[in-house]
Amino acid sequence: MKILRRLAFAFVLGCSCAVADDAQPGLYSFADLYRLTVNASPEALAFALPAAPEQIPLHVRVAAAMPDAFAVAEPRFTVAQASATRGWMLLLAGLAAASWVAHRRLTSAY
Amino acid sequence: MRLLSFIVLTLGLAGCERVAADRADAQLVARVNGIEISAREIRTSASPSVAQAVEKVIDRELLVQKALEAGLERDPQVKDSIDNARRQVLAQAYLDRAASAATQPTKEEVRAFYAENPALFAERRLYRMRELIVSAPAELIDVLRAQAARSSDLQEVAAWLKARNARFTMAAETQPAEQLPLAYLQQMARMKPGEIAVFPIQLGANVIQVVQVEEAPLGLEQSQTVIEQFLAGRKRLELAAAEVKRLRASAHIEYVAQFKQSTR
């Protein structure tokens, strides 16, 4: 709600574009940084953690509404990546099996 | 002979496992106008549930089919976008690989972070506050700060601003420490109810009066998971940033004159 207010206010001032395009980490909360770092999106690379608050240029807050950082992370749909097929393993197993059968036939009395 | 049997069996099982994994990946999920959609395509979707992911991929496939029918892949702009997307995916994959070398934070690191940020954890507070978001030139901020120091209530500051035809909006809200801008937090943590502080922002200032504070500390155990995840994420980002820096240092980059200033 506050963000909407800020954006609306910025729009009234005729500077909404500049604000939206030029958001800086100065007004990021820990919850914002948590989301950015834990999600580790490539954009987050630009947002280094502040060493000391007074060194940071101040700017508008991140535009997205933030959930409680201490709440459980929202469920995400991911499927674990399966590694590539090892065809050579099957080939080797087949060769070994064939060798074994051949060996048995050649050495067995029956 | 037994050893040979064992090896054969082990290799066979390992092979079967791989095949099973590959089969699961290639499992048919749907057919869209005869085009098969496999589980592999679903995996890349970021939808919250499998069902939603399937629907999204179906929608995408329909659009792709129409785009191909229209010959959009030959459109120069689309070609450029495809190339950019491919490069982005490759860059991201490399970055992910570089960042995967990051180690998990140690207990000591977690403890140190907890201790270094009392305002977020051990001395965490919930702030009920009133706020003036003021549009003002930089030179007015010092005057505003002096006025805020003299005022006992935010209404006085508002009246003072009104008298100077300054533009501002007023708001009231309750926020926990972790939702406050880090640039404000140290000062906010020291403020008592009734106190007013002025925080400069790009186009003016935020004038905040703390109405009420409620202690809501978090113990180390409560905070541990959040801190661990945060520190692990930060390490990954640091590694990725270091890798980009290393690549830039070892690369030969030539800027075209007109972009030299804007890119540095």
Question: Residue B226 and residue A69: Cβ atoms within 8 Å?
Answer: yes
What pLDDT is attached to residue B119?
Answer: 94
Closest Cα in chain A, distance from residue B204 (Å): 10
ipTM > 0.90 (yes/no): no
Chain B residues near residue A73 by CB distance under 8 angstroms: 229
All residues at 6 or more sequence positions from B181 whose CB lies less than 8 Å from its CB, including other chains: A26, A27, A28, A29, A61, B199
Closest Cα in chain A, distance from residue B160 (Å): 20
Chain A residue with Cα closest to B203: A59
Which ranges constitute the DSSP H helices of chain A? 2-12, 16-21, 30-39, 87-107
Mean pLDDT on B193-210:
91
Question: Residue B50 and residue A6: Cβ atoms within 8 Å?
Answer: no
B180 touches chain A (CB under 8 A): yes
Instruction: Write out pLDDT tens, residues B174-183.
Output: 999 999 999 8
Residue window 48-87, chain B: list those with CB within 8 Å of chain A: 48-50, 52-53
Q: Give me the DSSP letters along B64-81.
A: HHHHHHTTGGGSHHHHHH
Quote the CA–CA distance of B55 and B89 in Å, as a whole number: 23
Question: Residue B92 and residue A9: Cβ atoms within 8 Å?
Answer: no
- Do B134 and B161 form a contact (C-beta atoms < 8 A)? yes
Mean pLDDT on A61-79:
35
What pLDDT is attached to residue B195?
Answer: 94
Instruction: Write out pLDDT tens, residues A49-67.
Output: 333 333 333 332 333 333 3
Banded pLDDT at B102 (limits 50, 70, 90): confident
